[in-house]
Amino acid sequence: MTHPGVPLRVLSYNVHGQRDDTAALAEVVRGVSPDVVIVQEGPRRFRWRTKSATLAASFGLVVAAGGLPSLGNLLLTSLRVRVTGTRCRRFPLTPGRHLRGAAYADCVVDAAARFTVAGSHLSTDPAERPGQAELFKRDLEAAAHPVIAAADLNEEPGAAAWTVVARRLTDAAVAADRADRLTYSCADPRRRIDALFVDPRITVVDYDVLDTPLTRRASDHFPVLVDLRLPTDA
C-alpha cells in the first residue's frame, strides 16, 4: 500500500544511562537508520554536552535538543532533518525524588513537512506522574506543528498519566495493531511502558518493538521503531 506524505523513521529508546553494552547500542540504532531518535536516560551530568555529542555520533546522528536542561531526555536527528527551534522543561521537584523533564524540537524534513518532536521520562512515583503528564501534555498541545511524542511513562495503557498524554493523539502501537508488544524489561518482558504518540494528521505506517540479542545487551528497555508519513500542509 502506498501512503501519502513525507516518510519519517523514528526510534524511541531508553538507553539506561549507557550502563550496558554501548557497542551493541550503537549497532542497534545504526542498523535501523532512523531520521529521529528520542532518547530517555541520556547524558545529564558532568560533560553532558560532549557525552551527548559522542552518543549521537555513535548513532550516525547529531544532537537537536535536550541533555542536562531536560534532565537526560535527548533528541537526535539525521542530516535529513532541519531543526528550527528547541526548548526544554524541568518538572517540579518533589523532595526526595529524582528530577524529571522533557525536550522539544521543531523540525522540517526534506524541506517539505514540519513537525514537533518531544521526549520525556515520567517519575516512577504514581503520585507524581499525573502532574508531570499534565505539564508534558500542555506543551504538546501548544506545539506549532503536528506532534511526535515519545516517553518512558513508567506505567501501562489506561493508567492516569498515560491517559493524559494520549488524549487526542494516536497511539502508534494501537494504530499498527501491535499493542501486545512489550517494552520492559529486556530481562523479563512484562509491560508496555514506552509509548510513541502522534498527531492524528500523521499516518502510522509501521510499528515494532525490537527484541533481538543485540537489544537485550544494549539496555534494559527494548527500543520502539515507528515509520510515519507526515502531512505537507501542516
The closest of 33, 27, 26, 41 to 11, measured between CA atoms, is 33
Per-residue confidence of the chain (234 residues) as pLDDT tens digits? 678 899 999 999 999 999 999 999 999 999 999 999 999 999 998 999 999 999 999 999 999 999 999 999 999 999 999 999 999 999 998 776 778 999 999 999 999 999 999 999 999 999 999 999 999 999 999 999 999 999 999 999 999 999 999 999 999 999 999 999 999 999 999 999 999 999 999 999 999 999 999 999 999 999 999 999 999 975
What is the C-alpha to C-alpha distance for residues 118 and 120, in angstroms, rounded to an integer? 7
C-alpha separations of 2 from 6, 7, 176, 194, 210 in Å? 11, 11, 15, 28, 24
The answer to whether the CB of 84 falls within 8 A of the CB of 60 is no
The total number of structural domains that make up the chain: 1
What is the C-alpha to C-alpha distance for residues 23 and 32, in angstroms, rounded to an integer? 15
Q: For residue 219, which phi and psi values (nearest 5 degrees)?
A: -165, 175
Q: Is residue 1 part of a domain?
A: no
Q: Is residue 137 part of a domain?
A: yes
What is the C-alpha to C-alpha distance for residues 228 and 4, in angstroms, rounded to an integer? 10
Q: Is residue 27 part of a domain?
A: yes
Q: Name 9's Cβ contacts closer than 8 Å, sequence gap at least 6.
A: 32, 33, 34, 35, 36, 225, 226, 227, 228
Q: Is residue 124 part of a domain?
A: yes
What is the C-alpha to C-alpha distance for residues 198 and 36, in angstroms, rounded to an integer? 14
Q: Is residue 104 part of a domain?
A: yes
The CATH number of the domain holding residue 213 is 3.60.10.10
The confidence score (pLDDT) of residue 96 equals 66
Helix (H/G/I), strand (E/B), else coil: 158: coil
What is the C-alpha to C-alpha distance for residues 203 and 159, in angstroms, rounded to an integer? 25
The confidence score (pLDDT) of residue 99 equals 87
> What amino acid occupies position 26?
A
What is the C-alpha to C-alpha distance for residues 10 and 186, in angstroms, rounded to an integer? 20
Q: Name 141's Cβ contacts closer than 8 Å, sequence gap at least 6.
A: 168
Q: Is residue 163 part of a domain?
A: yes
What is the pTM (predicted TM-score) of this model?
Answer: 0.97
Work out the number of other CB atoms within 10 angstroms of the CB of residue 221. 23
Give me the residues paired with residue 206 across strands: 227
Supply the range of the domain harboring residue 108: 6-230
> What amino acid occupies position 57?
A
Work out the number of other CB atoms within 10 angstroms of the CB of residue 78. 17
The confidence score (pLDDT) of residue 234 equals 59
Q: Is residue 91 part of a domain?
A: yes
